[in-house]
Amino acid sequence: MCPSCEARTSCFGQGADASALRQLDQVVEKRLSLAAGAYLYRIGDPFRSLYAVRAGCLKNSIRDEKGRDHVMGFHMLGDVVGVGGIETRAYIFDMRALEPSEVCEVPFDKLEALAHRVPALHPNIMKIFGRYRSRDARTQFLRREGSTDVRVAGFLVDFCRRLEERGSDPASLRLPMSRADIGDYLGLSADEVGKAFARLGERGIAKVWRKTIKVSSIEGLRSLAAGRAGRGLATPAVLTTDGPSQEGAHHEP
């Protein structure tokens, strides 16, 4: 299945030839279907495998000393999750499906052995580890931003970029997570996220209807994320939506 899988361009098989993809397919132990709300693994579960997301969206979270969950990241097609458990040999997050999702389970020991046999796969594994660190850095940066609008715009810019890398239209997106989850991830309340979405519409940058977002000015969104709102922004043509905004992605790859 790896040679024809949509996720191959961003998971372990990125850039690999047909022979390497066939060998990668052989080390995939299971292909799992998860219902919305189902856990892939829990904090403290013994580490054994990495998981490549084939469809859907998952979120990872941690618990603070009072037992409250905090969202640390969102994962979509092509992302690889479980990396944080390699060093500790136990998973360090709860990983849960936000919507019906599919993942491929790749036992880590088999992946290591394959990387030695097929050198073309080794750089991909290193890229995945690097992606894990860079997303963590972006998350910490977003949470340090003082402005609600900058945090929300930065989140959307990153989400659009990830969609575009996977061949999807970054100007039209559906957010599988709730506003409460987005707010928790950004250190905001769900109400603050909702008001920030409304201001995007007032600026002519994007329109939000429930979980659907139509971006009419990606440059305007990027400028807002960079803290340059109002400087050099022309009023863009606003894309139509089904109605006004009603409701409202730490990372592990």
Q: For residue 231, is it within any domain? A: no
Q: For residue 230, is it within any domain? A: no
Please calculate the CA angle 42-49-28 and round it to the nearest 5 degrees: 130
Quote the mean pLDDT of the chain.
80
Are residues 168 and 210 part of one domain? yes
Q: For residues 101 and 124, what is the distance between their CA atoms, to the nearest angstrom? A: 23
Q: For residues 31 and 176, what is the distance between their CA atoms, to the nearest angstrom? A: 21
Asked whether residue 153 carries a pLDDT value surpassing 80, the answer given is yes
Are residues 151 and 77 part of one domain? no
Are residues 125 and 104 part of one domain? yes
Query: What is the total count of domains within the chain?
Result: 2
**57-99 residue pLDDT tens:** 999 999 888 888 899 999 998 889 998 898 899 999 999 999 9
Are residues 126 and 171 part of one domain? no
Residues pairing with 209 in the sheet? 212
Query: Distances from the Cα of 251 to the Cαs of 82, 97, 224, in angstroms?
Result: 11, 15, 22
Asked whether residue 29 carries a pLDDT value surpassing 80, the answer given is no
User: Where are any strands of DSSP class E within the chain?
Assistant: 30-34, 39-41, 49-55, 58-63, 69-75, 80-81, 94-97, 101-107, 172-174, 206-209, 212-215
Domain span at residue 169 reads 145-225
Q: For residue 246, is it within any domain? A: no
Are residues 124 and 92 part of one domain? yes
CATH code (residue 166): 1.10.10.10
**4-26 residue pLDDT tens:** 555 555 566 566 667 777 777 77
Two tokens, residue 178:
């709730």
